[in-house]
Structure formats: C-alpha cells, structure tokens
Structure 1
Amino acid sequence: MKIGLPRETKDNENRVAMTPRGVAQLCASGSSVVVQEGAGVGSGFADAEYAAAGARIGDVEEAWDVDLVVKVKEPLESEYPFLAGQSVFTYFHLAGCPPHLTRTLLESGTTAIAYETLEDAAGRLPLLAPMSAIAGNMASLVGAYYLARAHGGKGVQLGQVLGIRHGRVLIIGDGVVGFHAARTAYGLGAHVTVAGLDADKAARMRAEIGPDLGFFLSEPRAIAEELRRADLLVGAVLQHGARADYVVSRDMVAGMEPGSVLVDVSIDQGGCIETSRPTRHSDPVYVSEGVIHYCVTNMPGAYPRTSTLALTEATFPYLAKLAERGLDALRGDPGFSKALNVHRGHITCRPVAEALGMLEKYQDWNPL
C-alpha cells in the first residue's frame, strides 16, 4: 500500500502522525511511504530520519496522492482539494465540525477512518485516551496560568501555601480527561471537586489522587451551586462519536466570579459549555460573562514531542493492519469498524449523521 504523511496545517499544530520508526516498520512490511517535507520537524523528527527509514520525501501533492493518508487533525479547507477518494486515518471529530467537511468527504468519495470512534474489546477509546490524558493535564496548568491577575484572571493561585490549599477547581466529567485534570490540579495544591456519572469512581479516584478529592453526581443544580465558588472550571464531557451535550448553561457561567477561568476540553466535539466557541493556540482565550474561556481545539499540539510519541504508540498497530489489509482489517473487528465514519458517499457512523442532521446520508456498514 502507498501511504502518505502530510505536514499538519492547523494553527500551531506540530504533532506528526508517524515517527521514523513507524515508517521503517511499514516499509519493511512492503508498503511505500511518502513524507511531506518538514512533516516531523515540529516534533523533533528531521526529514533525513524519515529518508533513512525508507520513506521518500515529497511535496504536499505527493503526500496526498496515495492510497492511505495518515494525519493527526482533520483536513482543513486548504486541504479539501487533495481529497480524491483515498482513505484518511486521523482525528475527524465530525460531529463537532461544521458540516462542510463531511459534505466534502461525501462528495469526493473519501473514506474517513476516525481515531476518536475506534473502540477496543472493552468499549474504550484507545486512540483518544493518550491525547485526552495530555489535554487533561494541560487543562489544569493552563487554567492556573490564566487565573493570574497579569493574564486577566482573578488573582487566585492553585497551590498549597504552607500546607493550606488555595483555589477551587470543578471538573465536569470522570473519564480520562477528568481524571488527569483532577490529578494535576490536586497535585498543584488546589481544592478539587469532580462532577461525574459513576459514583463507584469516587473511591478509586480518591485512592489514586488523594483523600480530600471531592466528588458528586453530575446534575444541573449541584453544578450551578459548585460553580459559584469555583475559580477554574474544566469541561471534560464525552459522548462517543456524538456532539457533546451542554452541561453548563450561560446562566451558570454568569454565576461565576469575574476573572474566573474555564477550559472546555470537549470543544473538539462541539463543547459542553454553552458559552464556548473554538479558539486556536495563537489566540487561545476570550471573555464571556466575565469569565476567561480557553477552548483550543488541538490542545495537545502545544506539547508535540510528548503527544506524538503517545499518539503513535496507540495508533500504529491499527495503521499496520490498514497497510496490510486495507478496509478488510475492519471486517470481523467490531471495535475497529466503528472508526469508519464516511465511506463511498455515505456517513457510516450514526451519531455523526444525527449530530449533523444528515440522516438521509447514513448507511450502516456491516463489516462482518
């Protein structure tokens, strides 16, 4: 199979979807790989390393003129002309994207294989988990940064001062993002409370994070009450493949103190806070209802070396299967087949079709 590795074009996106080591393994198995010049530089991988691994270094057109394109983020409008019926393996987040991308995929006959909807045998999301962990860690750190008065915040530090905890953090969501955000904020020294859906997780999280971690079952009245005294809100809600639900209303945000901060990690899937809108690393924040909003859609791109190593460790086994067998790799593997979002002019992931109001384009793809 001919595989292409283009350079990412999203704002300040320096991750890359394959390392030289991965390229060497694919080439040794009989695939050919075209790497766009400079694709790995932002993650610390030079063109010479890819060439030594067996890749051919080419331009952007060559990296897209292949059977299978491997990326980190969804194609942007500048890349739409390159969509020409090939398969693309990347994070798509179609349910949270403007429908123009999905329409372009449908019209071009492109096959969209999405990292974020692929499941393992236990129903977990193994390709989303590593980036969720990094984004969760980052949410508490970036929140602490913008709470500083010099950065527009209310001047509350998340940290222990002579053994006393300062700053209050509310995290909505008890999954991978929520766990990592809670652990980081607790480690900084803040008071941390998690709003979750699984009461059994409270004891496990306290055992792994700390005995003073707060936990309550997520419901609107309790969230609103907790928000009135929160300095930092982290939105960490996930619906598999679907658009995230709003769990924080505009009125709830307005009830927070001026200069508070919120980080909506769910923004890739549309956001879980009513006042959220997508931002980018070069212009990451805005103020709404007196609260600083950080809603960057590619948060892990801020730490490309760590993110690339974690991401490719998770994606490569699936990439190797695609390189060897194409879409036949999805047949007989129900979890892998859930990664297929668009194929031959149809949407094959029902939550995506529902979120975009395009059920007339939905067609079940039975891999068995």
Structure 2
Amino acid sequence: MIIGVPKEIKDKEGRVSLTPAGCKMLVKMGHKVIVEAGAGNISGFSDAEYQAAGAIMEESPAKIFSEADLILKVKEPLPPEYSLLKEGQVLFTYLHLAADKELTEVLLKKKIVGIAYETVELKDGSLPLLKPMSEIAGKMSVQIGARLLEKPFGGKGVLLGGVPGVAPGVVVIVGAGVVGTSAAKIAVGLGAEVYVLDINAERLRYLDDIFGGRVKTLISNEYNLEYAISKADLLIGGVLVPGYKAPRIVTEEMIKKMAPGSVVIDVAIDQGGCIETVDRVTTHSNPTFEKFGVIHYSVANIPGSVPRTSTLALTSATLPYLLEIVNKGWERAIRENQYLAKGVNTFDGKLTNKGVAEAHDMPYYPLVL
C-alpha cells in the first residue's frame, strides 16, 4: 500500500502522523511511504531520518495526495486540502465531524473512507487513540490557565497555588473523563482548590479515592454547576460524548457570574464545545477572546503546542491500527477488528457514525461490508 504523510497545515500544528521508526516498520513490510518534506521538523524528526527509514520525500502535497492509497494525518483536512482528496481514498486521522458539516459533506461527496482516531472504541468504552491527546490537553489546560490568570495576560492576577497566608486559586473542571482527570492531577499538584463535576457518581467516587479527598467532587447538575462556577478562577470544560457534538452544559448566565479576569478553557471545542459562551474556535496565534470580562481560550489543537511529546504519544497509539489497515487492507481490517470498525465515520458516500449524522440531521447508515 502507498501511505502518504502530508505536513500539517493547521495554525502552529507541529505534530506529525508518523515517526521515522514507524516509517521503517512499514517499509520493511513492503509498503511505500511518501512523506512531505519538513513534515516532522517541528516535532524534531528531520527529512534525513525519514529517508534513512526508507521514505520517499516529496515537496508537493498535491502529489502525495494523488499517489497515496491512504492519507495519514494528525488533524482533519482543512479547506485548502479538500480538492486534493481523491475519490475512494482512505483517510486515517482525527476528524471531529460532528462539529464540521462542510468537511463531512466533502468526505461524502468524494466517497472517502474516513476512519477517525477519536471514535475507535474498545469494549470498555475507552478511546485508545484519543486518550493520549486528551491526557496532554487536560494537563496543558491548567498550565495555560495558570498563565492566562497572570495580570500581563489579562487575568485577575491569581496564583493558583497561593502562598502561606493566602488562599489558593479555585479550579473547576466539568467532566471527569480523561481530560478532567489529567487536569485535576496538574491542578492538585500546583496546590489549587479543585472541584470536579460529572454526571457519573462512580467516576467521581474513583477520583475521590485516587486523590485522597484532595479534590472536591460534585454531581453535575444546574445547581451545582452554578455554585462551583461562581467560585472559579479557572474553569475547564472537558465533556465528551464519543462521536457526538458536545452538549452545551455551561450556560452564558453561569459565565456572567464569574469575576472579571477569570479564565475559561473549553477543551471540548474539537467537538463543538461544552461552554455556551465559546462561540468560536481560536488558534495558537490568536488563542483568546474576552466575553463578560472573562478570558476565553478555545484552541482546537492544544497538544500541537508540545509536538515532540504529542507526536510520540499519538503515533505509539495509532501505529498498531495503521499496521492492521495496510497489511490486511482496510475492509478486512475492520471486519476483523470491531473496535477499529467504530472508527469508520464515512464510507461510499454514506455517514456510518450515528452521532455525526444526528449532529447534521443527515441519514445514518450502519456500516455493512
């Protein structure tokens, strides 16, 4: 199979979808790997390393898309790449289609086999290809929030950890999944006062156990959300329903009750966001906006700012699934791996993910091969 690895074009996205180590493995198995020149530079992987691993280096992304049977990316295709996709091509990447109707329509029109990292789901409901990036985004959300709370960045001038004789800052995390748990680890480590809200009492019980009571847990409902958010210096949204558009559970009225200079970070923005006042996707170049005196951060590719760590974590997770696809062919691979099959969002011009179909009010077709 011919695997194409184009350079990511999203704003300041430094990750790359394949390391030289993965490339070498594919080439030894008899596959052809075409890598765009400079694709790995920001992650610390030189063109020379890819060449030594057997890759063919190519300057033109258009040529990569035209020659490849499978396009391997990190982030979803952006409008300049839409015309490069060819009919029937396999696309293996993060897609987040529930929040992007235009891309959904492009993939359907071109009959792309769209396999989304974020909807590959194991028997226990875990998302093995989303998890490493959720861990990074959760940890970074506190790191970013701590900086935005500093006065030079427009914040209220609060140190999350406080100092002796001065109360610490308050971090409120909505969602106790991978993002929320990872955020809580960093917030607790900084010495902040931490609240975590979720609808799952068992998950909250687990967090109470692992943090030894250091985190205050609350069942997520309107009353508790209003109570906790009104106290927050930093609010982190980490709600996820796999494949579906994120529910907007934090309302505008709740945000209005936050003190001026407080910070909101919506990590769920990839799936449309879970905070009502987050009405736009921001970028690493222009990451924040202010609403009701509150600083909002809604960058859709948070892990892209630590590309070395993120690339190594992501490719370690995706490579085993990629090997199944290229060695068996995608049809046999998904027939034999029910978890990988859940990653197929589009096929033969049809939407095969129920959450995406509902988000865009489009017909849903269960995957049949």
TM bracket, shorter-chain basis: over 0.9
Deviation at 1:203, TM superposition (A): 3.9
Deviation at 1:211, TM superposition (A): 2.6
Q: Deviations over 1:324-361 (max 9, x none)?
A: 112210003221101000111111111101101112xx
SS in 2 for 1:258: coil
Q: Deviations over 1:136-184 (max 9, x none)?
A: 0001111111111111011111014138651001000010000010110
Aligned match for 2:182, one of 174, 180, 186: 180
Q: Number of paired residues?
A: 364
Amino acid at match of 2:61: V
1:344-363 matches, cutoff 5 A: 344-359=348-363, 362-363=364-365
Deviation at 1:202, TM superposition (A): 3.1
- Structure 2 partner of 1:28: 28
SS in 2 for 1:89: strand
Query: Matched residues in 2 for 1:189 and 1:261: separation?
Result: 17
1:78-93 matches, cutoff 5 A: 78-85=80-87, 86-93=89-96
| CA distance 1:62–1:163, change in 2 (3 Å) | farther
Aligned match for 1:330, one of 329, 334, 351: 334
Query: Matched residues in 2 for 1:268 and 1:219: separation?
Result: 23
Deviation at 1:52, TM superposition (A): 0.5
Amino acid at match of 1:190: A
The reply to whether residue 71 of structure 1 matches residue 73 of structure 2 is yes
Aligned-residue RMSD, C-alpha: 1.2
SS in 2 for 1:228: helix
Query: Matched residues in 1 for 2:211 and 2:41: separation?
Result: 36
**% identity of equivalent residues:** 47
Contact 1:15 1:305 in 2 (8 A): yes
Q: Which has the larger displacement, 261-270 or 158-167?
A: 158-167
The reply to whether residue 141 of structure 1 matches residue 143 of structure 2 is yes
Structure 1: unaligned runs, 5 residues or longer: none
1:266-345 matches, cutoff 5 A: 266-276=268-278, 277-327=280-330, 328-345=332-349
Structure 2: unaligned runs, 5 residues or longer: none
Amino acid at match of 1:357: D
Amino acid at match of 2:78: L
Deviation at 1:209, TM superposition (A): 3.1
The reply to whether residue 94 of structure 1 matches residue 97 of structure 2 is yes
Query: Matched residues in 1 for 2:171 and 2:19: separation?
Result: 36
SS in 2 for 1:41: coil
Contact 1:34 1:63 in 2 (8 A): yes
Aligned match for 1:261, one of 260, 263, 268: 263
The reply to whether residue 55 of structure 1 matches residue 55 of structure 2 is yes
Q: Deviations over 1:30-57 (max 9, x none)?
A: 1110001111001000011001001100
SS in 2 for 1:159: coil
Query: Matched residues in 1 for 2:108 and 2:241: separation?
Result: 23
- Structure 1 partner of 2:225: 223
Query: Matched residues in 1 for 2:223 and 2:124: separation?
Result: 33
- Structure 1 partner of 2:119: 117
SS in 1 for 2:367: coil
Query: Matched residues in 2 for 1:148 and 1:253: separation?
Result: 19
Contact 1:13 1:302 in 2 (8 A): yes
Contact 1:279 1:296 in 2 (8 A): yes
Query: Matched residues in 2 for 1:139 and 1:233: separation?
Result: 10
Deviation at 1:364, TM superposition (A): 1.4
Contact 1:36 1:62 in 2 (8 A): no
Query: Matched residues in 2 for 1:63 and 1:44: separation?
Result: 22
Query: Matched residues in 2 for 1:79 and 1:209: separation?
Result: 45
Contact 1:13 1:301 in 2 (8 A): yes
Amino acid at match of 2:174: I
Contact 1:8 1:14 in 2 (8 A): yes
Deviation at 1:226, TM superposition (A): 1.2
The reply to whether residue 170 of structure 1 matches residue 172 of structure 2 is yes
Query: Matched residues in 1 for 2:208 and 2:84: separation?
Result: 49
Amino acid at match of 2:27: C
The TM-score with structure 2 as length reference comes to 0.96
Query: Matched residues in 2 for 1:164 and 1:305: separation?
Result: 37
Query: Matched residues in 1 for 2:307 and 2:75: separation?
Result: 13
Deviation at 1:61, TM superposition (A): 1.8
Query: Matched residues in 2 for 1:199 and 1:88: separation?
Result: 37
